[in-house]
Structure 1
Amino acid sequence: MRREVNVAIGVLIVSFSLLFALNSEMTSKYTPNFFTNEKDIRQIFNYTSPQSLDRSWLNVPHRGNVSICQPNGNIAFLKTHKTGSTTLRNILNRYGVSNNLSFILSNKSSAGHVFRRLKGMPLKSLLPPIGVAVGDYKRYQFNITNVHMRPDWKELRQLMNPSTSYITILRHPVDQWLSSFQYFHHVNKVKKFLHLEPDPVKAFLKFRNKLGSSATSICNQQIRDIEYSSEYTHLQNTAYVQKKIEEYSKLFSLVLITEYFDESLILLKRLLCWKFEDILYLKMREQPNPLQADSSSREQIQELNKADMMLYTHFNETFWQMVDEYGPDFEKDLRYFRDYLTAMQEECVGESKVAIVAGNHENVRYNVKNNSANCTNYVAYTSSGDALRRQRHSLSQ
């Protein structure tokens, strides 16, 4: 009798193990656990992911590494702060300049950033597209925007080519907040408290109620980048944020994830029908001695960035759904891209040069090891300044 009971128990254990393994494989083939040692977003905010838009572009027929489609150079990249967006911007700059495309660029900024809201902004403050005369506003239709801007989506659509794909990039809000806190010198806000708490992150969290509105203005920066009109009180309203996420799900064809940059570029390549060489990159910016936070501080930062956590959670989920929908070629394409990237770096990239800006981050530039056209095009830093010069030069033609 005892032997039969032991056999039955063994069978049950094996069965449950097989079911658990099968369920894990089915539900999280690719999806990593972003919330290790942190509370799940749903437990904190009672959050339910809204439905996202159609992703039929993931099923565009492919033959080997060649897409049976036409490359799209019409891209509206909503640039977010401290998410790796400068590296992505350089990819788009390189593609746009190489293909003689027109960028939305302010002629009032050396970097081309549009610091005023598009709504109500005089079009004379924008450089006209290549081949278009100043003031011929009916022909102001651009291929690429990848500068920081205050977006008004209706106005932006009117300026962009009708076939434009809208994209952005998000980073885990705790890490993004820490990077932003350091980059923008927010430690200055808590200097008077450092004698009580020497850790600047803990000092901010402990004394933030004494900092007034400046404490809330540095939170939820990613959704603020996308939605400049959002007030702090709105961002504490779960229903309001969910509504905004639903709008963004219809707007953005792709939201890249910083922690999975290579994977994101594979999806971007498929979306735009580009080649592997079009998504090659070098890291453009680094932050020396980045701030750290213990698990307790991370949970508090997560609570303060409620809207960003909701935003990130939704698009993290849809991101991995896209990876699944891409099909079995995804892992093969990712592996090929990484091998290709490594080979190009070994062949083309020499010593790096660092320029420290304000002591809080490093702009990294690289020497070309091999002066071939492919290496020069890959390693050269293509800035918005190059696009600015091209569009200004076209005015004199």
Structure 2
Amino acid sequence: MLNKMLSLTLLILVLPASAASSNQTWQRVHIGSGGGYDFPLYANHDLQQPLPLVREVILVQHGVQRNGDDYFAEAMTLLQAAGRNNEEVLIIAPNFPAKADLAKGFTDLPLWSSAGWSGGDYAVSGSAYELSSMRVYDDLLTMLTQKKQFPALKKITVAGHSGGGQLVQRYAVLNQVDETVRQHGIALSYIVANPSSFLYFTAERPSEHGFVNYDTSLCPAYDQYRYGMQAMVAYAHQISGAAAFERYRQRKVTYLAGTADNDPQHRVLDKSCGAEAEGATRLARARNYWQYEQHLAGARSLEQHQRYEVIDVGHNQSKMFGSQCGSQLLFGVPRADGAACRMISSDNNTNQQASTDRPAQTNTTGTMSNPAATPP
């Protein structure tokens, strides 16, 4: 049965552009149903062969530069730092190509807009152009949970930092494969670290008076996707906010927030009015969202959701995932030299009152920020 299959960790990171390239050759892998489609993946093992020695899989998602090779190299660095056996761990870095990437050899493949893939958009061309990037993750999970190729899968962890954290959080909310995976005896969890924004389930946002409907005169489209449930991507199948939260609260999600990720002018912070309705900084937005979940849950349990603050760490994925809690969550091995972590319980004072330190909702010209702008 699938309860003998190997552990899969889907790790979605946002890496700096300076990350060293792995010089790896990508593999063209056929996935999906109904004829399927080819998709480019970087990996440290041959994905066309059975992998009986592999015990875990780490899937690393690139950022806006679509440089899967660099992300693959960084994931290998984190793996080696954890002291794990390369023979037992499969690292995969999917690459969502755009037209600008055709020179890299990504031909006869579905193509996305330069950043649309990060929100679950459809491919814009190719034989599978009506293909959501989130559906690619569904198909990869299906491929990786096949007993014939991966005979010992026990656990799946989907993790992401910054823009990758945004994708992971939204995928954790919207995907329809989570329960199916767990029904096969595979533990599935998500780690969301330092995202610029979160997906809200209602029109409420943090204020001095708790969570109330936001002022649409400040941001008319603040509740549209990526920030809210309006104008939702097709992948979500028109699920309601109430139904989405009820499902989400029962999924295993861990949030990580760096206590030094608190710069409201950070160069890659999403400063659209839709994001600023959630708070001024990534740290404030994370704390607000944790309290928002408590607000929505009421007397219902949130025991599947955990929250950690990583002490004195800013917007740095290596330090976040290399922290004591990050390394334990990802690799099962705490790093003694990693940054310390503080677990935030539901009754912790840090998280009891919404942070309302967000800047004004207009830019320097007095016009509204664009709530639908693609965040970095």
TM-score between both structures, scaled by the size of structure 2: 0.29
Q: Which has the higher contact order (CA 8 A, sep 6+)?
A: 1
More helix as a share of residues:
1
| Bigger Rg over Cα | 1
More strand as a share of residues:
2
